[in-house]
Amino acid sequence: MSQNSDIFEVELVDTYHYRMSYGGQSPFFRGLENGQLIAGKCTACGRVWLPLRPICSHCYAKAEAVVLSNGGELLTSIVLLHVPEHLKHLGSPVASALVRVDGADTCMKVFVVSPDHNFAKGRRLVARFLPKVGTIADFYFTTDV
Ligand SMILES: [Zn+2]
């Protein structure tokens, strides 16, 4: 018998439905809906941040939205033993990876799909977009360029 046997406990399930705002990063998510990668380019130092940041994290000047190509380079990756649910329909191996999109000064941690199971460093990638955008994980890169 536990020492806390006098503590009254019940099991409850709470479900919350709410609308969340992406605030100043909204252009990035609207870009995902339209099949584009939207970055923030600093109006002072010129750094390009992806995903978009409305304010430069380097010099704190205003950044303006710019559309990048959907191409990028694989910097590093680790193949996942379990494919994320929302990518299973692709039927290919998936890695969690760092990718630098062409024109960006930053890299992103994203999912990379490789039908030929080749996640070599330096491999060229192209972004693909899922039909419904809710989170930053609702796009991925593929080696099938
Ligand atoms: Zn700056």
CA distance 109 to 98: 5
Beta bridge partners of 129: 139
Higher pLDDT, 2 or 57: 57
Across 38-59, average pLDDT? 97
Q: Where are the domains of the chain?
A: 23-142
- How far, in Å, from the CA of 25 to the mean position of ligand 1? 16
Q: How confident is the model at residue 54, as a pLDDT? A: 95
- How far, in Å, from the CA of 39 to the mean position of ligand 1? 13
Q: How confident is the model at residue 137, as a pLDDT? A: 86
Could you report the per-residue pLDDT of 72-126, keeping only the tens digit for each? 999 999 999 999 999 999 999 999 999 999 999 999 999 999 999 999 999 999 9
- How far, in Å, from the CA of 29 to the mean position of ligand 1? 22
